[in-house]
Structure 1
């Protein structure tokens, strides 16, 4: 149902599925964050257009599944993104050995920050149609994962909600005395359909991709990078249906021209409504994964990443893989934005 009522911005602490959450509204959008599970934005709606953008847990039972597997709901932060072969990599003379949490492929997958509790440090109504919520995650020797990743750092998520949609600013500061490896990604889960009246076949995904990373049976890059097939080239123009068949692919993220302007990111179009959800990604996100969980579950994950899957072990130049290190006291920062607009 479309709601044309002009409501002022608001921020409320609520009990959602019997868990503490923050609901915030501004500019015709409404969002919900769960601080105790990765500060994940598990709901994002355009209330004026009646669009429910992100996949959310439906009930208390599914909320328990969300706590165990937050990567298939909302906008979960992956650190590091996707998989690390055998959970092991080397930086200089230091060897890192993460626990194996994908035993069938003997990989470490999706990081730990997505499940952890974050602290809310800012809740501010900027104007009658703009609000900001900030959450931080402090990591130090007291954390159980420190034995695997012996660095102190702070993650910060700043969300600005307005009539321009949800703007996300992610930053990480190295608080330690040694350089640390970083790779950041998001496993953003979009409802398809996001309009209740629409059908699966009404939808198309457009992505600003350049080349495809070849992956092996463990879903790890082989190091081979291929030109797009004719079918894959459709992602960059008319789009590809996101449901009805299995999709799991890994690409370089490059700029394309959209409506006469440079575009870096992904779009999910509803052709029956002449509407699209736009996912703009900052230039630091140089790689992307698309995955639809076999294509029969009414959602698709669009996953921007700063680096390729298994980046420190791929064996290619860092300019190609995107693998980064962060010097002591330095900060990495990048932005993304999700919004709804009419086509044409």
Structure 2
């Protein structure tokens, strides 16, 4: 999609598989000479642990400040979800719910203006009982509003009762939602820690933007979980 981390090799730190689960740990250590240093001029390590078992797929991300100055933590995942995902079902069989809050107004560079836009009736359904994932072309930036202590996307095949849950954890304060021009094949519920362009915005409190930093040696960690269930 975009970004840089997905296009460069990662170090495989650990890999295992047994009767209970399979797991892999990969990392990037960013320092002098690393491609990413010119985009984010700090020394840090990002570690991803993926584990897969009968319960689902867990993603644990850890960021460590390896430098000598405080660094901002700026992170989003461009998660893509097939809809439909059940053989024999069609896009029209699907409803999605996401724990969105308010929609941020974006300028022509897709940067936040600081204002909010009213939610459409379908967006109210998106945060409520659920809505067709392709009701319109979506490329929208939302605040996150956890429900029942959880921050997540829930995709339901109404024909079969199969449900895919993407529980991302409450450290992610925003969602970006893109549905490939309402193409009817997949959409992207993208959890994001911070408001787009947060370090350069001065008129919104850091806590509201999800902007925070790590002092030297500090770590930040969050776990996301993808799992399936069946509803009648």
Match of 1:341 in 2: 229
Q: Report if the CA contact (8 A) 1:251-1:287 is conserved.
A: yes
Q: Report if the CA contact (8 A) 2:122-2:135 is conserved.
A: no
Alignment map for 1:85-96 (pairs within 5 Å)? none
Match of 1:235 in 2: 126
| Matched residue SS, 2:37 | helix
Match of 2:9 in 1: 117
- 1:301-327 CA-to-partner distances (Å, cap 9, x unmatched) read 110000011112233110111122221
Q: Report if the CA contact (8 A) 2:91-2:184 is conserved.
A: no
Which of the numbers 203, 213, 219 marks the counterpart of 1:331? 219
Alignment map for 1:253-332 (pairs within 5 Å)? 253-257=144-148, 262-296=149-183, 298-315=185-202, 316-332=204-220
| Matched residue SS, 2:225 | strand
Unaligned residue ranges in structure 2 (runs of 5+):
none
User: What's the offset of the Cα at 1:342?
Assistant: 0.6
Please report the TM-score for the alignment, with normalisation by the length of structure 1: 0.64
Which of the numbers 41, 48, 52 marks the counterpart of 1:157? 48
User: What's the offset of the Cα at 1:227?
Assistant: 5.4
Cα distance in 1 between the residues matched to 2:119 and 2:135: 21
Cα distance in 1 between the residues matched to 2:102 and 2:135: 24
Q: CA separation of 1:143/1:305 partners in 2, compared to 1, >3 Å: closer, same or farther?
A: same
Highest CA radius of gyration, 1 or 2?
A: 1
Tell me, yes or no, if structure 1 residue 144 matches structure 2 residue 35. yes
Match of 2:65 in 1: 174
Cα distance in 1 between the residues matched to 2:58 and 2:69: 31
User: What's the offset of the Cα at 1:166?
Assistant: 0.3
Alignment map for 1:166-245 (pairs within 5 Å)? 166-226=57-117, 228-243=119-134, 245=136
- 1:141-188 CA-to-partner distances (Å, cap 9, x unmatched) read 021342343321111000111111001100110111111122111010
Cα distance in 1 between the residues matched to 2:10 and 2:66: 17
Cα distance in 2 between the residues matched to 1:263 and 1:141: 38
Cα distance in 2 between the residues matched to 1:218 and 1:307: 17
User: What's the offset of the Cα at 1:228?
Assistant: 3.5
Higher relative contact order (CA 8 A, sep 6+): 2
| Matched residue SS, 1:263 | coil
Unaligned residue ranges in structure 1 (runs of 5+):
1-70, 72-109
Alignment map for 1:13-52 (pairs within 5 Å)? none
Q: CA RMSD in A?
A: 1.6
Q: Report if the CA contact (8 A) 2:133-2:179 is conserved.
A: yes
